[in-house]
């Protein structure tokens, strides 16, 4: 009715293709994760039952784990290569919520391996992970404004718009799953500014709607960067340093760009 042009059919079809691929790969990887968690659970440090309060503790433990998994997926380039597909749309809508990574599923469950070691039941872990993921689906919208007091404790559409934005002040912020408290605690929180509308996408946008290319393009970029140097140290840095690091070019990491923006603002104020 308001002609907002939030969806574009080719982009949405690409998102659905990514979601379908993620679903099919996820069946195998969740099965492997359950088997792995079950093996680890045999050597659990504590005996934890299935009482209601266990779910409360597990909810916080799962969300804490998601925060660090998500944050590192933005700060370590080889992990970013797997995660970047979710950010590569220049739209933000419910279809983009389905634009899930294929390769991220190959490593993400290792971050949760400490939970069965503590004694949490593997099925409970996978169940709570699913609830967290479902909650995050509804954050991918431009149609919901700020939600008052909830903004202090929960991830909201406003917080997640910041996360998907490429504005320098918004880069690599708000990694929350369900609770925004982790970003507030660990210094990665950024409020959506009414004077700076989020611009969605990635710093070097792609134009393809081919799901295979969407899933693989950053791995190709890494490979091309690895070929630029004969230094083993530089090769390692291209894999494990933040996205934007270069051994012979302009520094384009989010931390560097943010510092430059702050210097520019400070200079203008003087």
**How far apart are the two ends of the chain, measured CA to CA in Å?**
46
pLDDT in tens, 125-178: 999 999 999 999 999 999 999 999 999 999 999 999 999 999 999 999 999 999
200 forms beta bridges with 165
Average pLDDT of the residues of the chain: 95
The closest alpha carbon to 36, from 106, 83, 104, belongs to 106
- How is residue 87 annotated by DSSP? G
The closest alpha carbon to 77, from 270, 219, 256, 183, belongs to 219
pLDDT in tens, 181-227: 999 999 999 999 999 999 999 999 999 999 999 999 999 999 999 99
Distance (Å, whole) CA 250 – CA 123: 47
Question: Which tokens sit at 76?
Answer: 């370590």
Q: Evaluate if residue 256 carries a pLDDT over 80.
A: yes
Residue 1 confidence class, pLDDT cut points 50, 70, 90: confident
pLDDT in tens, 62-74: 999 999 999 999 9
Q: Evaluate if residue 9 carries a pLDDT over 80.
A: yes
| pLDDT (mean) for 8-29 | 97
pLDDT at 4: 80
Match 């970003």 to its residue by tokens: 183
- How is residue 160 annotated by DSSP? H
Which of 13-17, 247-251, 256-260 tops mean pLDDT? 13-17
pLDDT at 29: 97
pLDDT at 263: 85
Say which residues have a Cβ less than 8 Å from residue 255's Cβ, sequence separation at least 6: 172, 242
In three state form, how does the secondary structure of 121-155 look?
CHHHHHHHHHHHHHHHHCCCCCCCCCCHHHHHCEC
pLDDT at 270: 65
- How is residue 187 annotated by DSSP? T
**What's the whole-model pTM score?**
0.95
Question: Which tokens sit at 175?
Answer: 């990694």
pLDDT in tens, 241-253: 999 999 997 888 9
Distance (Å, whole) CA 167 – CA 237: 25
């Amino acid at each position: 009715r308001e002609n907002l042009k939030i969806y574009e059919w080719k982009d949405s079809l690409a998102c659905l293709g990514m979601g379908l691929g993620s679903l099919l790969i996820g069946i195998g990887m969740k099965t492997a994760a359950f088997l792995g968690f079950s093996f680890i659970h045999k050597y659990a440090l504590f005996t934890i039952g299935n009482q209601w309060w266990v779910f409360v503790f597990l909810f916080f433990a799962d969300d804490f784990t998601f925060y660090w998994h998500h944050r590192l997926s933005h700060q370590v380039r080889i992990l970013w290569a797997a995660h970047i597909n979710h950010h590569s749309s220049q739209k933000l809508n419910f279809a983009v919520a389905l634009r899930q990574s294929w390769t991220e599923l190959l490593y993400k469950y290792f971050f949760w391996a400490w939970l069965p070691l503590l004694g949490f039941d593997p099925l409970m872990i996978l169940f709570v992970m699913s609830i967290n993921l479902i909650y995050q689906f509804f954050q991918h919208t431009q149609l919901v404004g700020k939600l008052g007091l909830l903004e202090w404790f929960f991830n909201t559409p406003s917080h997640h718009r910041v996360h998907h934005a490429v504005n320098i002040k918004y880069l690599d912020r708000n990694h929350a799953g369900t609770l925004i408290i982790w970003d507030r605690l660990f210094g990665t929180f950024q409020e959506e500014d009414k004077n700076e509308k989020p611009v969605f996408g990635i710093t070097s946008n792609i134009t393809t709607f081919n799901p295979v290319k969407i899933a693989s393009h950053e791995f190709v970029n890494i490979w091309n960067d690895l070929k630029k140097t004969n230094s083993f140290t530089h090769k390692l840095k291209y894999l494990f340093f933040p996205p934007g690091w270069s051994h012979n070019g302009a520094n384009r990491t989010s931390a560097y760009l943010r510092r430059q923006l702050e210097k520019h603002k400070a200079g203008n104020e003087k």
